[in-house]
Chain A
Amino acid sequence: MHERELVIVGAGPAGMAAAIAAHEEGVKDILLLERDQYLGGILNQCIHTGFGIEYFKEVLTGPEYAERFIHNLLGLQGIEVSLKSFVVHLAKNKTLTYLRPGELETVKARALIMATGCREKTREMVHIAGTRPAGIFSAGLAQKLINIEGLLPGKEVVIVGSGDIGLIMARRFILEGAQVKGIIEIQKQSRGLTRNVVQCVEDFDIPMYCRHKIARIHGRDRVEGVDVVAVDEGLNEIPNTGFRIGCDTVLMSVGLIPENELVEMAGVALDKKTNSPVSDTLNTTSIPGIFVCGNAFKVYDVVDSVTRDSAACGRLAAAYLKGSNG
């Protein structure tokens, strides 16, 4: 088994920023593992604009934002990028087992940064009753189907939750010629950025039902409709306020959960509610030398802050390596 100074898992904006920052601090033996076949992570499917406003003072699309870091990163000596590399096991002593085409590799890291991002909450996690037909998607999956695969998930869409991906997907569906029949938000107001509410919802006259929730999903083979009901301050259903919206698609945009199953496997303590590492300081975990950054550490609103905080994580790991060397 070989040993590496710093191993970073995940080459989205967080992993790339951390790698570049650690390199700047003098770490010259970095292995960056990414399970996909390209760098950039989720940015690749975010073809809308709105990235980089803080960091570059420019308005970029997701892939454009990623490209700036990819370009920078690939020019650096001392960072080895390994694509199609899927980490399947992490031990407490920072030994990683990963798959890459034709191989099962093991590598021991002196310091480790996990930048594995988030997954979306599902319909099941918010326990919506009813049937389980085709036509229920997470907003991110719908985005991938449209933007990457060129497929239209459905024609009459109801969106559950008003997170940013949901709002952006509402506009996307309309531009694809589909109908968005409503956005159902249980809170008093949208949880998305104001600019997304204006540009994606209000400009297209999409009905937004705040303080409402989906009580039931109908349809045997494919979604046929949803029951919507108003809720009070305590989020309890208000009797006799229910109504049905006919639709063939339900899009779930009810929040993100940090993906930390690997560090959990190594014994890092996670918060049971948020799935983030339990920690007082940014990017650290209960195991010295294992760091977590980006959306895996906490869910961020914009990528610019991910870049900023993940760069800090790269420097933190560099300092840790210096300290343990010295």
Chain B
Amino acid sequence: MRPYDVVIIGAGVVGAAIGRELSRYKLTVAILEKSEEVGFGVSKSNSGIIHPGTQNPTGSLKGRLCVEGNRLMRTLARELGLDFKEVGELIVAFDEEETFRLNELKKQAEALGVPRLQIVDKKWLEEHEPNLSREALAALYAPTAASISPYRLVFDLCENAIQNGLELFTESPVQGIVKTRDGFDVQTPRGVFRSRFLVNAAGLYADQIARMVGVTDVTITPRKGEEFILDKKREHMANHLLFPLPSKISKGILVIKTSDGNPMIGPTAQDISDKEDLSTSDDGLKKVLEGAQRMIPSVSADDIIAYFAGLRPVAGEDFIIRHENAVAGCVTAAGIQSPGLTAAPAIARMVVRILKDHGLALKKKFFFRAHQTELRHLFSIPFSVTRRLIKKDPSCGDIVCRCEMVSAKEVREAIERGAKTLDGIKFRTRAQAGRCHGSFCTTRVMKILAEGRKIPLTQVTKRGKGSQIVAGDRRDA
């Protein structure tokens, strides 16, 4: 077998962005992903904020890549047909001392190149953010902050890269790596993948992969963040992303406008040891509620319709992005904690540059298809357009998920475009993501998925092997 030019380990937002960037060139590239679907690691459970670059130490790599990523994300979102909502953020000060610190934050961010920052006063806040606590005195306003759907970003990056020739292998955990004379033999249950260059973008497990090639100075500590999603009815409770002043380890409890409309509150920040521990806690709920109510006093526990926890892959204060000089051809992208989602397109560029510097020849493809069609939701468009679509294709009007009004057509399209699990369908279409949590539509979605993948209903899973929805068929018992 001819070796690949590059094998990327991990199809999170970082691996996917690198893959898509490499798919511009005449190269053979494969991504190996251990989960059943892409983006099911850290990249699916985060705040979905495209940070402007505030709250990062001057001179930090993550700060620089965040500012660049924020800029690149605009083009990327347009090309991929993603909903990019530039809602802006307010870092809110509640006392004199905090108000004073805003100036310091502003200076720091300006040094990093964050554009159009402005300090706004109480009067501005009362006018532009009427539900904000009366205790708020001033805020740092960063208009370039935005929100995006983090999982759809990963799905679309991969899909687009595949259209441009990249090969994706899911359910392919890397179990060992052998350094050969001119490259790497990467071992998976699917067999050995031979490659000249290797990119480690394994998220929480980047330390494990690093050790496989003999790099021992990377240690990932998961930092858990619990987040709580509110009913869409509260969509307009805030007009901006609301932040308190940052602490040493986190940006604090935020009120988040998501690209799907449901507000979100969180995340907590807690260092833990178990990389698989995605549980939420009563304590987390309490902290998040208190934090959010400090911003918007009317937020209540009754508004919550869903919650989750995500783990930030922390390796020290900053990102680690480097060529491993002891292991020629291996590039590490580790410790991609927040703002990793934002920085991903900039990380991708940086990694490609490093690969080039170490001998990867980059020749542009003549045909690179940058654009891709958007998954269009029936009710994000005017009724007159909906009516025309339905006339053309009745399955557009065959509603599967009543809370989010998702049609059979959208679900089938999601499956054609790569969804293999119920969560995969949920993240792409929002079917099962509304207030009834799938009580009404799960059976219908299961049937469409089983039909589309030609598997029995008993094999349908929530998020991959081991998460079967039902235990069996009654008739078999």
Chain A residues within CB distance 8 Å of chain B? 35, 86, 88-89, 97, 99-104, 119-120, 122-125, 127, 129-135, 138, 140-141, 144-146, 148-155, 176-178, 215-216, 218, 220-222, 248-249, 264, 272-273
Judging by beta carbons under 8 Å apart, are A222 and B285 in contact? Answer: no
A-B contacts at CB below 8 angstroms, number: 138
B59 within 8 A of A: no
0/1 interface trace, chain B 92-132, chain A, CB 8 Å (1 if under): 00000000000000000000000000000000000000000
The answer for the CA separation of A131 and B226 in the assembled complex, in Å, is 11
Mask, B365-409, CB within 8 Å of A = 1, is: 000000000000001000100110011001001110010010000
B74 at the interface (CB under 8 A from A): no
Given that A97-B383, A102-B397 are known contacts, is A151 also in contact with B466, CB under 8 Å in the complex? no
Which residues on A sit within 8 Å (CB–CB) of B469? Answer: 134-135, 153
Q: In the complex the two chains form, is A152's CB within 8 Å of B383's CB?
A: no
Which residues from chain B contact A248 at a C-beta distance below 8 Å? 471
Which chain A residues lie closer than 8 Å to B468 at the CB level? 134, 222
Is B461 close to A, CB under 8 A? Answer: yes
Please indicate the chain A residues that have their CB under 8 angstroms from the CB of B405 in the complex.
88
What is the minimal beta-carbon distance from B286 to any residue of chain A, in angstroms? 10
Q: A119-B435, A154-B471 are in contact. Are A99 and B307 (CB under 8 A)?
A: no
CB distance from A326 to the nearest CB of B (A): 35
B280 touches A130 (CB 8 A): yes
Is the beta-carbon distance between B464 and A152 smaller than 8 angstroms? no
**Size band of the B side of the interface?**
35 or more
A102-B397, A124-B306, A125-B304 known; A141+B467 contact, CB < 8 A: no
Residues of A within 8 A of B467 (CB): 133-134, 221-222
Kindly list chain B residues whose C-beta atoms are within 8 Å of the C-beta of A125: 302, 304-305
CB pair B306 A99 closer than 8 Å = no
Q: Does B443 contact A (CB under 8 A)?
A: yes
Within 8 A of A (CB), among B429-474: 435-440, 442-443, 457-458, 461-474
Closest 3 A/B residue pairs (Cβ):
A221-B466, A134-B462, A221-B467
Given A119-B439, A134-B461, A149-B443, A124 and B305 touching (CB < 8 A)? yes
Q: Which residues of B contact A35 (CB under 8 A)?
A: 399, 402
In the bound complex, CA of A153 to CA of B472 (Å): 7
Check B397–A104 contact: CB distance below 8 A.
yes
Chain B interface secondary structure, helix, strand, loop or mixed?
mixed
Complex Cα distance, B233 from A88, in Å, reads 16
In Å, the complex CA distance between A138 and B278 comes to 22
Q: Would you call B470 and A145 a contact (CB within 8 A)? A: yes
CB contact between B477 and one of A88, A177, A218, A249 (< 8 Å): that residue: A177
Complex alpha-carbon distance, A153 and B467, angstroms: 12
Taking CB atoms, residues of chain A closer than 8 Å to B475 are 150
Whether A132 and B278, one on each chain, are in contact in the complex, defined by CB atoms closer than 8 angstroms, is: yes
Find the A residue at minimum CB distance from B407: A99
| B279 within 8 A of partner (CB) | yes
With an 8 A cutoff between CB atoms, is B301 at the interface?
yes
Cβ-defined contact, B390 with A152, below 8 A = no
> Using Cβ atoms and an 8 Å threshold, which residues of chain A touch B169?
none
**A172: shortest Cβ distance to chain B, in Å?**
11
Cα–Cα, bound, A125→B436 (Å):
10
Asked if B217 lies at the interface with its beta carbon under 8 angstroms from chain A, I say no
Subset of 11 A-B contacts with CB under 8 Å: A88-B405, A104-B386, A125-B305, A129-B280, A129-B281, A134-B467, A138-B437, A141-B439, A151-B474, A155-B471, A222-B468
- 8 Å CB contact of B301 from A119, A123, A127: A127
CB proximity of A320 to chain B, nearest CB, Å? 28
**CA A193 to CA B145, docked complex, whole Å:** 54
B396 to chain A, nearest CB (A): 9
Bound together, the chains give a CA A201 to CA B76 distance in angstroms of 58
Q: Are A129 and B282 in contact (CB under 8 A)?
A: yes
- Given A141-B439, A141-B442, A150-B473: A127 in contact with B285 (beta carbons within 8 A): yes
- Whether B470 and A119, one on each chain, are in contact in the complex, defined by CB atoms closer than 8 angstroms, is no
B276 at the interface (CB under 8 A from A): yes
Give the chain A neighbours of B435 by CB distance below 8 A.
119, 122
Query: Which of B233, B302, B436, B457 counts the most chain A CB atoms within 10 A?
Result: B436
A131 in contact with B278 given A101-B397, A124-B437, A148-B443 (CB within 8 Å): yes
Partner of A101 from the list B398, B443, B473 (CB cut-off 8 Å) is: B398
Cα–Cα, bound, A272→B440 (Å) = 23
- CB pair B474–A221 under 8 Å, yes or no, is no
The answer to whether B439 and A133 have CB atoms under 8 Å apart is no
Residues of chain A contacted by B301 (CB below 8 angstroms): 127
- Partner pick for B399 among A99, A119, A155, CB 8 A cutoff: A99
* Interface membership of chain B positions 124-148, coded 1 if the CB is closer than 8 angstroms to chain A and 0 otherwise: 0000000000000000000000000
Knowing that A88-B405, A102-B397, A145-B470 are A-B contacts, what are 13 other residue pairs whose CB atoms are under 8 Å apart, sorted by A's residue number? A86-B399, A88-B399, A89-B383, A102-B391, A103-B397, A122-B436, A127-B285, A129-B281, A146-B474, A151-B472, A221-B466, A222-B466, A272-B302
Whether A130 pairs with B279 at a CB distance below 8 angstroms is yes
Interface residues of B in 293-317 (CB under 8 A from A): 301-302, 304-308
- Give CA–CA (A216, B301) in the complex, Å: 18
In the bound assembly, the distance between CA atoms of A65 and B415 in angstroms comes to 39
* A residues near B379, Cβ cutoff 8 Å: 88
**Complex Cα gap A148–B446 (Å):** 14
Nearest CB of B to A186, in Å? 14
Instruction: For the complex formed, measure the closest distance between the CB of A117 and the CB atoms of chain B, giving whole angstroms.
Output: 10
Residue contact A104 to B437, C-beta cutoff 8 Å: no
A123 CA / B436 CA spacing, docked (Å): 10
Which one of B279, B284, B461 lies within 8 Å of A131 (CB-CB)? B279
For chain B residues 216-236, which have a beta carbon within 8 Å of chain A?
A: 233
- B461 lies within 8 A of A153 (CB): no
Q: Is the CB of A124 within 8 A of B278?
A: no
Question: Once the chains bind, are B440 and A119 in contact (CB under 8 Å)?
Answer: yes
A266 to B471, CA, bound (A): 42
A153–B477 contact, CB under 8 A? Answer: no
* A153/B470 in contact, CB under 8 A: yes
A133 CB contacts on chain B under 8 angstroms: 462, 467
A122 B439 Cβ-Cβ under 8 A: yes
A270 CB → nearest B CB, Å = 10
Beta-carbon contact of A122 and B390 below 8 Å: no
Given A103-B397, A129-B282, check contact A141 B471 (CB 8 Å).
no
Q: Which A residue's beta carbon lies closest to that of B289? A: A127
Whether A124 and B436, one on each chain, are in contact in the complex, defined by CB atoms closer than 8 angstroms, is no
Q: How far is the CB of B470 from chain A (nearest CB, A)?
A: 4
Q: Which of these, A101, A130, A154, contacts B470 with CB under 8 Å?
A: A154
Complexed CA–CA distance, A97 and B281 (Å): 42
Shortest Cβ gap from B444 to chain A (Å):
10
Cα(A314)–Cα(B387), bound, Å: 32
In this complex, what residue of A is CB-closest to B390?
A104
CB distance from B45 to the nearest CB of A (A): 10
**B472 near A152 (CB under 8 angstroms)?**
yes
Q: Which one of A86, A152, A264 lies within 8 Å of B402 (CB-CB)?
A: A86
User: Closest residue to A147 on the B side, CB-wise?
Assistant: B474
Residues in B neighbouring A176, C-beta threshold 8 A: 474, 477
Report the minimal beta-carbon distance from B383 to chain A, rounded to whole angstroms.
6
Contacts of A124 in B (CB 8 A): 304-307, 437
